[in-house]
Amino acid sequence: MKRKLLAIIAFVYSGFAFNASAQTVALDYYFNHETRKDKNGQPERFHYLWEDTGNTGFSVWGGIFKAQGATLTSIDAAPTAENLKGVSAYIIVDPDSRKENPQPNYVTQADVANISKWVKQGGVLVLMANDSANVELPHFNLLADAFGLHFNNDIQNHVVDDAHFEDGGISTGNSPIFKTAKKPFMKDVCSIAISGKAQPMLKAANGTVIAACTKYGQGTVIAIGDPWLYNEYVNGRLPAQFDNDKAAADITAYILSLARKK
């Protein structure tokens, strides 16, 4: 099933592969640094990692990036000009709270300065939050605020149980970004306040913004209120009316269309 999905995506988006051949997409492993005990009682990394093939990982999304011609990497340290060198797109997902990591690496003003400079020079920054109970927003918003974006302390698209999946459905409308996806699923997300040049990408049924983007210098910043493209929601197991697999391919193509080869 997964191989068939990636083969289809590779065919549909083969036109992007040539353009993306030299692009490197980096996933943050510093602000998000969760661990758990393995079967031998030793700590192991998990949650929103390229190599995590469980429900909590990004292995499927990583496969989509590779199918479209990109190279994957990770950054396991605070962002600097040196470790962002050669990176075309930088994805930061669900920074740790003390509940998730007793010694979290909070976003600092120095991080904001380094990332802002990199974006201004043409980088594509993707920020993925979560509902306020499951993400550290105060420090993450230091970064988002620098670009006219702000993750709100709320919950949108709340889904009570499996009998209420429709409460997590969103319409892409006539979005120029989501060219094939019509109804992705995104539950328990935070809304996003926008200012300046920022524009909505996706809205909840009640009209609140749950994904937005903005230009900054020569680069682009994308903010999404949930890490909605992890394996659990792109592995083909959602009810048939939802097309997160197509949404993942669409936003990947969009990110790579913006990202410069470095």
- CATH number of the domain where residue 170 is located: 3.40.50.880
In the structure, what pLDDT confidence band is assigned to residue 220 with cuts at 50, 70 and 90?
very high
Q: 63: burial class by Cβ within 10 Å (0-12, 13-18, 19+)?
A: buried
In the structure, what pLDDT confidence band is assigned to residue 7 with cuts at 50, 70 and 90?
very low
The Cα 124–Cα 25 span in angstroms is 9
The pTM for the full model equals 0.91
| pLDDT tens for each residue of 139-165 | 999 999 999 999 999 999 999 988 899
* 9 pLDDT above the threshold of 60: no
* Average pLDDT for the chain: 91
Locate 145 and state its tokens: 């605020």
HEC states along 107-141? CCHHHHHHHHHHHHCCCEEEEECCCHHHCCHHHHH
Number of structural domains, the chain?
A: 1
The closest alpha carbon to 61, from 186, 239, 233, 259, belongs to 233
The Cα 177–Cα 38 span in angstroms is 39
The closest alpha carbon to 223, from 187, 198, 241, belongs to 198
Domain housing 174 = 2-258
Alpha carbons within 13 angstroms on the beta-carbon side of residue 15 total 5
* 13 pLDDT above the threshold of 50: no
Locate 184 and state its tokens: 């992705």
| Alpha-carbon 254 to chain mean position | 12
| pLDDT tens for each residue of 191-208 | 999 999 999 999 999 999
The amino acid occupying position 18 is F
| Paired residues of 199 in beta bridges | 213
